[in-house]
Amino acid sequence: MTAALCLVVSAQAVEAQEPGAPVVLAAATTGTPAERAQATLAQMTQDEKLTLLKGYFGTDFPPAKFEAPKEARNGSAGYVPGIPRLGIPPQWQADAGIGVATQGGAAEKRPRTALPSGLATAASWDPELAFAAGKMIGSEARADGFNVLLGGSVNLMREPRNGRNFEYTGEDPLLAGIMAGAQIAGVQSNQIISTVKHFAVNDQETDRNDGNAIVEEGALRMSDLLAFQIAIERGEPGSVMCAYNRVGGLHACEQPFLLNQVLRNEWRFPGYVMSDWGAAHSTAAAANAGLDQESGYGLQRADWFSADKLGKAVAAGEISQAQIDLMVTRILQSMYAHGLVDNPVSEGHPIDFAANRAVSQRGAEAGMVLLKNERDVLPLAATARRIAIIGGHADKGVLSGGGSSQVYPDGTNAVPGIKPTSWPGPVVFYPSSPLEELRKLLPGVQIDYAEGTADPAAAVRLAAQADVVLVFGTQWASESIDVPLSLAEGQDALIDAVAGANPNTVVVLQTGGPVLMPWVDKVPAIIEAWYPGRAGGAAIARILTGAANPSGHLPATFPRSLDQLPHPGDPRKGDIVYDEGAAVGYKWFDKHGHEPLFPFGHGLSYTTFEIDHLVVTPEGEGLVAMVEVTNTGKRAGAEVVQVYVSGMGWEAPRRLGGFERVELASGETRQLDIHVDPRVLATWFTGRPGWTHPAGAYTVSAGHSSRELDDSVTIELPPSFLPPEWRPAKS
Helix (H, G, I), strand (E, B) or coil at 162: strand
Q: What is the pLDDT of residues 114-131, one digit of tens each?
A: 999 999 999 999 999 999
pLDDT, residue 17, reads 58
Tell me what the mean pLDDT of segment 323-348 comes to. Answer: 98
- Can 47 be counted among the known catalytic residues? no
The edge-to-edge listing of strands for the beta sheet with 525-528 is: 369-373, 525-528, 505-510, 468-474, 386-390, 446-450
Kindly name the residue from 60, 126, 144, 276 that is annotated as catalytic. Answer: 276
Helix (H, G, I), strand (E, B) or coil at 331: helix
DSSP-derived letter for residue 229 is H
Tell me what the mean pLDDT of segment 82-111 comes to. Answer: 93
pLDDT, residue 288, reads 98
Beta bridge partners of 692: 683, 721
Helix (H, G, I), strand (E, B) or coil at 638: strand
Asked if residues 58 and 73 have their Cβ atoms less than 8 Å apart, the reply is yes
Cα 607–Cα 608–Cα 612 angle in degrees, nearest 5: 150
Asked if residues 713 and 616 have their Cβ atoms less than 8 Å apart, the reply is yes
Asked if residues 146 and 59 have their Cβ atoms less than 8 Å apart, the reply is no
CA pair distance 511, 532, nearest whole angstrom: 9
Helix (H) or strand (E) holding 132: helix 127-143
Q: What is the pLDDT of residues 389-400, one digit of tens each?
A: 999 999 999 999
What phi and psi values does residue 599 have, to the nearest 5 degrees? -80, 160
DSSP-derived letter for residue 401 is -
In this model, does residue 494 exceed pLDDT 50? yes
DSSP string, 469-514: EEEEEE---BTT-B--SS-TTTHHHHHHHHHHH-SSEEEEEE-SS-
Tell me what the mean pLDDT of segment 339-368 comes to. Answer: 97
Delineate the domains of the chain, giving CATH numbers in brackets: 1-60+249-346 (no CATH), 357-577 (3.40.50.1700), 607-722 (2.60.40.10)
Q: Kindly calculate the radius of gyration of the chain based on its CA atoms and give it in whole angstroms.
A: 26
CA pair distance 705, 601, nearest whole angstrom: 4
Asked if residues 542 and 532 have their Cβ atoms less than 8 Å apart, the reply is no
Tell me what the mean pLDDT of segment 692-704 comes to. Answer: 96
Asked if residues 659 and 674 have their Cβ atoms less than 8 Å apart, the reply is yes
Beta bridge partners of 314: none
CA pair distance 325, 270, nearest whole angstrom: 14
Helix (H, G, I), strand (E, B) or coil at 357: helix
pLDDT, residue 342, reads 98
Tell me what the mean pLDDT of segment 520-536 comes to. Answer: 98
In this model, does residue 80 exceed pLDDT 80? yes
| Parallel/antiparallel/unpaired status of strands 239-242 and 193-199 | parallel
Q: What's the predicted TM-score (pTM) here?
A: 0.96
Asked if residues 466 and 483 have their Cβ atoms less than 8 Å apart, the reply is no
Q: What is the pLDDT of residues 194-210, one digit of tens each?
A: 999 999 999 999 999 99
Cα 259–Cα 265–Cα 271 angle in degrees, nearest 5: 60
E strand segments, 586-636: 609-619, 622-631
